[in-house]
Amino acid sequence: MFFQFYFVVSDFMLIFAGRINIVSMTTMQLNAEMLRNMSIIAEDENLLKRATKYLRKLVAEKEADPTLLTKEEFFARVDKAEKEIAEGKGVTFTNKDDMNAWLNSL
């Protein structure tokens, strides 16, 4: 079995240059799900307070974590990595041992 891996080291990040199939709910679906769930607990003040407290915690985590990317930012980085590979700036491996040796050398 032949594996080919392309990596580009950029801005101290290792970016895998390849498309990743993301199977997830769309933003609209997530918003609908959240609103549906909120309507279920809307009559219980204690549950609403707990939900609000948790949402505040999530917002604080997002604001504090600079590694979180939007889908658009992620794919922009993937596109940049693919361009760099096309320019010959990538590293190619034909087996996992070579890849591991290179990663360990970083």
5 SS3 class: strand
- 5: pLDDT strictly greater than 80: no
State pTM to two decimals. 0.38
Query: Tokens 């950029």, residue?
Result: 10
Question: How much is the mean pLDDT over the chain?
Answer: 75
Distance of alpha carbon 18 from alpha carbon 76, whole angstroms: 12
What is the mean predicted confidence (pLDDT) over 37-44?
87
Beta-strand ranges (E) seen in the chain are: 5-10, 13-16, 91-93
Pairing of strands 5-10, 13-16: antiparallel
Instruction: Give the tens place of pLDDT for each residue, 42-90.
Output: 888 898 899 889 989 888 877 777 777 888 888 998 888 888 888 888 7
- 9: pLDDT strictly greater than 50: no
